[in-house]
Structure 1
Amino acid sequence: MSFLVPQRNDALVIRRAHPDDATAIARVHVQSWREAYAGIIPQDHLDRLSLPAHERQWRASLADGGWAFVAEWEQKLVGFGSGGLSRSRRDISGELYVLYVLRACHQRGIGRALFDACHYELARRGHRGMIVWVLADNPARGFYERLGGTLAGESIVAVGGERLREVAYVWPD
């Protein structure tokens, strides 16, 4: 498993999420989807994303034993990542479910720091390897390729009434 410690940056803090972070996580989740998926997911679906619904989901997940890491840049929550048991493979038991960073904060090492924290947490919990599923048209695919992910499959997922292709990247450890 690769785990690189980023250069010291006093503006960036990666920490475990708490239920009280649910409002800020929901804001980043909705805004990131609207930024990343415009032109990929139907706009009416993106427009209907609900901050209160996402907040309830994150608050419940974090209160019920789910885990996530958040990234704070200059004391403002700007990204998050979470994972758990792989939903699609038996040979790779860990899965990165979500990793989002606000577009204004890209290219600062935040995504990499969240990725490493989630990858480490999955290994700490005894998972073998890690998989992540990404929409095929998502420009963030290059991020996972630069981190050494190996293309390992594809499927079709329904989002906003559309059938979209997604691809999997794996890190077998």
Structure 2
Amino acid sequence: MHGPASPGWLLVALCAATGAYCLLRMRSSDETQRRAAGDEALMGFGMAVMAVPGSAFTPPAWVWPAYAVVFGGAALRALWVARSGTHHLHHLVGAAAMVYMAAVMTSSPTAGHAHGGSGVPLLTGGLLLYFAAYVLVSGVQLLPVAGAAGSTAAASAPAWGDRPELARACRLSMGIGMLAMLLTV
């Protein structure tokens, strides 16, 4: 992606760590948790690779079309699976955003916008609004609820890979990463 190297490497680290945690979540005993974690691991690692600063590595021209194909497939899968749950619609938007960014990088691997004119293209602006709202909602969901009664028994606590607040934090970090990447498109 375009932009300074230091924030780019921080974004790479954030996305790679999130992808690694999502891989660990794939060991869950819950089938839906495993599938969501697999989708999120693909997104985390894909974002990490895409966020590598251009000053460190300039990928060959075939990389961006390959990204579009991989994440296009992920978008089709998310569309198919969205019949069973609305969370998969977010995966669809995320995969479509990755296809969009890959297409922008294909058309202009070294410059900012390849769309002509000034300002933010309409699709980029819409995606920025979506992910900003998603980050805000995800952040609010992580806030502790005062007076919430929880079980203190260790036996009833979920395994660390099945904890819903860690999955939400994972999704929040990927939403923040997507915002950062869209700002540099």
Shorter-chain TM-score bucket reads 0.3 to 0.5
- After TM superposition, the score normalised by the length of structure 1 is 0.33
- After TM superposition, the score normalised by the length of structure 2 is 0.32
Identify, as 1 or 2, the structure richer in strand: 1
Greater RCO structure (CA 8 Å; 6+ sep):
2
Q: Which has the larger radius of gyration?
A: 2
